Structure 1
Amino acid sequence: MTNTTLSQRTQVEGLLRCPVCPHHCTLAEGQYGRCRARKREQNRIVSVNYGKITSLMLDPIEKKPLRRFYPGSMILSVGTFGCNLSCPFCQNHEISMAGQADVPWREITPVQLAALAEAYRSHGNMGIAFTYNEPLVGYEFVRNTARLVHERGMKNVMVTNGFAELLILEELLPYIDAMNIDLKGFTDEYYQKLGGNLETVKAFIARAARDYHVELTTLIVPGENDGEDEMEAEAKWIASLDAAIPLHVTRFFPQYRMTDRGPTKVETVYRLRDIAGTYLSHVYTGNC
């Protein structure tokens, strides 16, 4: 398979509309989408980050973080460039906020990457994690590679912000075994600051959790999403899907464009963990 896009183009007054996420960027010929990873080229919307690898590392599965999916395993983590949100605290902003001219990359085919994953089996590798930047903005490469990884009897993991149309998720689900999805907060006001919306992410989580192993991560940013009432509402909603869905409550450290405040207090993270634990069976802290 190639990097052919999922849905056929939508033409509006000479523009083509990208189908991947709710931004639905309408692009003139040669124009890039907001994510920097998709472009109109020869009258099609294509993935320009297809096979352009910026990051490659063998990681413990717990680093994704996935605590309840083959614990103790290693996984080959792969990233490209681009993202459809604009989080001012992004720890991988060098690649997530970059286009193909902004960051070094090495091209690799799905066949080569699947073979590399299998070669690392002797190091305890269980498969591939699509991570570091937002994998959904280049979902074609994820789909094509993950299918080959499955054919080799290995697993696929995706670490995502969940800000995508469900049609994209449905295309990927046959090949993905587990996800860690960022639930960045639980108000639409906060999501608007990041360039997204809460309802899209909730729908994505609800669909994924029906059939697959899903864990969630909420980064607690002081003054933004650290309210006890907000965490209680979030935990109640997760429990309404399945109280056994693991939640990772993680500590913020200043970086990228958010250096106007200090790290989250450890006691705040623990307090919010305890609130979530009232409703959920598996709540973990991170960066503490």
Structure 2
Amino acid sequence: MDAHPARYWHLLDDGRLQCDLCPRDCRLHEGQRGACFVRQRVGAGMVLTTYGRSSGFCIDPIEKKPLNHFHPGSSVLSFGTAGCNLACKFCQNWDISKSRSMDRLMDAAAPGEIAAAAARHGCHSVAYTYNDPVIFAEYAIDTALACRALGIASVAVTAGYIHPAPRRDFYAVMDAANVDLKAFTEDFYVHQTGAHLAPVLDTLLYLHHETQVWLEITTLLIPGLNDSDAELAALSRWICDELGPDVPLHFTAFHPDYKLDTLPPTPPATLTRARQIARAAGLHYVYTGNVRDLKGGCTRCPSCDSLLIERDGYRILAYRLDASGACPGCGHRLAGRFGKFATPFGARRVPVHIGGH
């Protein structure tokens, strides 16, 4: 597909064009691309060079996003494009997010084709993931609208680094989001991601207090960089105080990659410690990921402590909630989006071909 006209920009008095999508505020001369590499100035306007192109499509379990309280056991059609507006030294998908050539090499698929494919394969939702969907907002919004017309939900997996105006448009068509809260210090954000903490916290506050989007949070724990007791306690207290105890928090394990390939992987004991700290801070739903941890993957009732959803990784072994998400023992209704539970999709990953090239 041809480059697509982009929104969220304005011309400056000095002749440059400023992108208004994210807090990077890239200022561009003719032909230049923003830090994300996919938003480019062409003449007196901006185009999105990856509209209608994807790095690939797969059907995943919703728990892989990770979302544990958004229609557990359902399948989700996942896709991303290329590029990213952060510069994380620890990126686990760097081959996609740091790509500089994929905008000419990817699978092509129009928004309507993606929605139709999700419906055809029985997916409950479509996830905009692998790289940050913020940078392909126009493509994600159009796809989400096509999905909504067919009764398909939309899920954003994002770092939450976006300005308020496009954020309103973007989340108006999303049904759920998992936001990466990469750390809880400005120093980490500046030196490890090339970004800032405050805009991410602002996005979290906006999502929880001003939208109906179901929100879960993920923090990748990196040994020696963001895993101290003090930082984990501060992060957990902020979530509990500002967002409430019912927002699920996922602590996931780092593996050496990209520019931090000399660091050790996260020990499982670190995830257990982080979960204990977060629960002590008052959070009801704290999970561990990227390691096998049966206890850390299960959902318990915050009222009577009954085991309600038993998981082994992405597999659901037992499900005891009713269609409204209520505990059968005490009647407490869990926070989340639930419905009639069918046979779970399981842990498999199914590649899907949708459009042409």
Aligned residue in 2 for 1:208 = 207
Please list the CA deviations of residues 204-250 of structure 1 after superposition, one character each: whole Å capped at 9, or x if unmatched: 01101222210000000011001111111111111121110000011
Q: Which residue of 2 aligns with 1:247?
A: 249
Q: How does 1:208-247 map to 2 (within 5 A)?
A: 208-210=207-209, 211=211, 212-240=213-241, 241-247=243-249
SS at match of 1:219: strand
Percent of pairs with identical residues: 38
Which residue pairs with 1:197 in the alignment? Answer: 196
Matching residue of 1:273: 275
1:33-182 aligned at under 5 Å gives the runs: 33-101=34-102, 104-121=105-122, 125-182=123-180
Q: Aligned partners of 2:13 and 2:250: how far apart in 1?
A: 42
The alpha-carbon deviation at position 8 of structure 1 amounts to 4.6
Contact 2:7 2:46 in 1 (8 A): no
Structure 2 matches for 1:3-22, cutoff 5 A?
A: 3-22=4-23
C-alpha displacement of 1:282: 0.3
The Cα shift of 1:173 comes to 1.9
Aligned-pair CA distance for 1:4: 3.9
* Contact 1:69–1:178 (CA under 8 A) maintained in structure 2: yes
1:175 match: secondary structure? coil
Q: Give the TM-score normalised by structure 2.
A: 0.77
Alpha-carbon displacement from aligned partner over 1:99-134 (angstroms, at most 9, x marks no partner):
34577302211111111111111xxx1121000011
Structure 1 position 169, deviation (Å): 1.3
User: Matched residues in 1 for 2:166 and 2:28: separation?
Assistant: 19
> Based on CA coordinates, which of the two structures has the bigger radius of gyration?
2
Indicate conservation of the 8 Å contact 1:54/1:103, yes or no: no
2:261 to 248, 259, 262: 259
Partner residue in 2 for 1:283: 286
Instruction: Give the TM-score normalised by structure 1.
Output: 0.95
Distance in 2, matches of 1:230 and 1:221, equals 12
Cα distance in 2, alignment partners of residues 94 and 72 from structure 1: 29
The question of whether the paired residues in 2 share the 8 Å contact of 1:9 and 1:45 is answered with: no
1:15-30 matches, within 5 Å, as 15-30=16-31
- C-alpha distance in 2 between matches for 1:13 and 1:26: 10
Q: What is the rounded CA distance, in whole Å, between the counterparts of 2:283 and 2:155 in structure 1?
A: 23
3-state secondary structure, aligned to 1:72: coil
Cα displacement string for residues 45-91 of structure 1 (whole angstroms, at most 9, x for unaligned residues):
22111111112100000000000000000000011001011111111
- Which range moved further: 217-226 or 206-215? 206-215
Q: SS at the partner of 2:124?
A: strand
Please report how far the alpha carbon of residue 160 of structure 1 lies from its aligned counterpart in structure 2 after TM superposition: 0.2
6-15 or 268-277, which deviates more:
6-15
Contact 1:185 1:191 in 2 (8 A): yes
Larger helix share, 1 or 2: 1
Which of structure 1's runs of 4+ aligned residues deviate more than 2 A? Answer: 2-8, 99-104
Return the alpha-carbon distance in structure 2 between the equivalents of residues 59 and 104 of structure 1. 23
CA shift for structure 1 position 3:
4.2
Deviation at 1:13, TM superposition (A): 0.8
Count residues in correspondence: 284
Distance 1:35 1:162 in 2: 14
Structure 1 range deviating more: 98-107 or 7-16? 98-107
How much has 1:12 moved relative to structure 2? Answer: 3.6
Offset, 1:137: 0.5
Kindly provide the amino acid, as one letter, of the partner of residue 164 in structure 1.
I
1:128-155 CA distances to partner (integer Å, 9 max, x unpaired)? Answer: 1000011100100000110110011110
In the other structure, the counterpart of 2:349 is none
Cα offset, 1:189, TM superposition: 0.3
Gaps of 5+ in 2: 292-357
